[in-house]
Amino acid sequence: MTKRIIHWFRRDLRLDDNTALLTAYATAEEVVPVFIVDDAILRRPDTASNRVAFLLESLHDLDGNLRSRGSRLVLRRGQPEEVLAQLVAETGAAGVYFNRDVEPFALARDARVATRLEGQCAVVSFEDGGLTAPDSVKTKTGTPYTVFTPYKKAVLPQSVAHPRPAPTQLRTPADVLGEPLPTLADLGFATAATLPPGGETAAQARLSDFIRNGLEHYASARDRLAEEGTSRLSPYLRFGCLSPRRAYWAAREAFSNGSPGLEGWISELVWRDFYRQILFHFPYVEGGAFKRAYDELAWENRPEWFECWCEGKTGFPVVDAAMRQLLTTGWMHNRARMIVASFLTKDLLIDWRWGERHFMQHLVDGDLAANNGGWQWAASTGTDAQPYFRIFNPIAQGKKFDPTGAYVRRYVPELSAVPDRWIHEPLLMSTDLQRAFRCIIGVDYPSPVVDHGHQRIKALAMFSRLTTNQP
- Could you give the residue numbers annotated as active site? 268, 271, 299, 334, 352, 375
Three-state secondary structure of 306-352: HHHHHHCCCCCHHHHHHHHHHHHHCCCCHHHHHHHHHHHHHHCCCCH
The helix (H) or strand (E) run that includes residue 34 is strand 28-37
Region of 285 please: left (phi>0), alpha (psi -120 to 50) or beta: alpha
| SS3 category, 300 | coil
Taking alpha carbons only, the member of 64, 42, 99 closest to residue 198 is 64
The answer for residues whose C-beta is within 8 angstroms of residue 69's C-beta and 6 or more apart is: 15, 166, 167, 168, 169, 170
Bridge partners for 122 per DSSP: 95
DSSP per residue over 90-138, as a string?
A: HHT-SEEEEE---SHHHHHHHHHHHHHTTTTSEEEEE--SSSS-TTS-B
> How far is the C-alpha of 271 from the C-alpha of 222, rounded, in Å?
15
Please, what is the Cα angle at 256 between 277 and 13, to 5 degrees? 45
> How far is the C-alpha of 9 from the C-alpha of 23, rounded, in Å?
13
> How far is the C-alpha of 207 from the C-alpha of 247, rounded, in Å?
7
> How far is the C-alpha of 327 from the C-alpha of 325, rounded, in Å?
6
Please, what is the Cα angle at 404 between 398 and 409, to 5 degrees? 80
> How far is the C-alpha of 441 from the C-alpha of 452, rounded, in Å?
17
Burial profile 83-93: b = 16 or more Cβ within 10 angstroms, e = fewer: bbbebbeebeb
| SS3 category, 8 | strand
Length of the chain: 471
CA 180 to chain centre: 28
Query: Distance from first CA to last CA of the chain, Å, rounded?
Result: 62
237 and 58 in contact (C-beta within 8 Å)? no
228 and 185 in contact (C-beta within 8 Å)? no
